[in-house]
């Protein structure tokens, strides 16, 4: 995807670059959605691959279901960061890449478990994913508006 976006963006084919991003997000969401459905419907079978301890299995099943709550949507954050890298916005790309796992997650995982205990640990990742996805979407929308404005001015 990165090469396709970079090539089309460099050729001033911004709509094709956006279309490549959109298709990648759709494909990623479908694949991650399948994983989400499996985790939500057969978590006991998945946990049984790693342990047969009932107490640990119970904790793991609960954790998996909560932790993966945003799984179908994390591709938006990841691919959005890749989009900015592809169009030469390295600084934006680095910041967006760090949002999910560092900038947002660390404060959330320090604060939320103090309120909600173990479930707070599990829910910290989906909270981070949701906030990161929202920020990435804002950056993408602004970038697309800027591209549209540039195209209008240059026409």
pLDDT digits (tens, 9 = 90+) for 12-27: 999 999 999 999 999 9
What is d(CA 28, CA 135) in angstroms, rounded to the nearest whole number? 19
Query: Residue ranges per domain, the chain?
Result: 2-154
Across residues 58-75, what is the average pLDDT?
97
pLDDT digits (tens, 9 = 90+) for 1-56: 999 999 999 999 999 999 999 999 999 999 999 999 999 999 999 999 999 999 99
Helix (H) or strand (E) holding 35: helix 14-41
pLDDT digits (tens, 9 = 90+) for 71-128: 999 999 999 999 999 999 999 999 999 999 999 999 999 999 999 999 999 999 999 9
Whether this prediction's pTM lies above 0.75 is answered by yes
* Residue 153 pLDDT grade (very low, low, confident, very high; cuts 50, 70, 90): confident
Q: What is the reported pLDDT for 155?
A: 65
* Residue 150 pLDDT grade (very low, low, confident, very high; cuts 50, 70, 90): confident
By CB neighbour count within 10 A (0-12 exposed, 13-18 middle, 19+ buried), where does 41 fall?
exposed
Where would I find the H helices in 42-117? Answer: 43-48, 54-67, 74-86, 90-98, 105-116
């Amino acid at each position: 995807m990165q090469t396709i976006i970079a090539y089309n963006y460099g050729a001033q084919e911004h709509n094709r670059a956006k279309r490549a991003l959109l298709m990648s997000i759709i494909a990623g969401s479908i694949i991650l959605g399948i994983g989400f459905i499996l985790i939500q419907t057969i978590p006991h079978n998945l946990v049984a691959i790693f342990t047969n301890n009932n107490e640990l299995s119970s904790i793991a099943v609960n954790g998996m279901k909560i932790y993966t709550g945003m799984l179908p949507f994390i591709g938006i954050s990841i691919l959005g960061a890749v989009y900015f890298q592809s169009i030469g916005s390295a600084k934006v790309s680095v910041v967006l890449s760090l949002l999910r796992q560092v900038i947002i997650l660390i404060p959330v995982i320090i604060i939320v478990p103090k309120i909600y205990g173990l479930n707070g640990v599990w829910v910290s990742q989906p909270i981070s994913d949701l906030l990161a996805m929202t920020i990435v979407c804002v950056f993408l929308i602004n970038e697309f508006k800027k591209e549209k404005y540039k195209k209008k001015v240059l026409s």
